[in-house]
Structure 1
Amino acid sequence: MNDLLQHYEIAKKNANKYMRKGQLNAYVDALIEMNHYKKLMKAVIAN
């Protein structure tokens, strides 16, 4: 669970960085990555 949370936080920081730089494609990719890790965390919590 801690690994998933760390990956989520890294993706969140990257998303903020890309948004500030105006790199929209990288920003959207980072948001998709965040969503992926969020789903995995919910699955771990549910089990």
Structure 2
Amino acid sequence: MAIAWSGSLDFTVERSGKSLMGSAVSGEGLVNVYQGSGKVLLAPVG
């Protein structure tokens, strides 16, 4: 889980698959996408 990121990064949320059915089958509906140069701080999720 991302807890902080550089202001220089563009952040969007996108579907993980090309189709809604593909997303449902993979078990992943949405993914976070970061573009640009900078840092992303991650925290483990357990």
Q: TM-score range by the shorter chain?
A: under 0.3
Structure that is richer in helix per residue: 1
Q: TM-score, normalised by structure 1?
A: 0.25
- Higher RCO (Cα < 8 Å, 6 or more apart): 2
Q: TM-score, normalised by structure 2?
A: 0.25
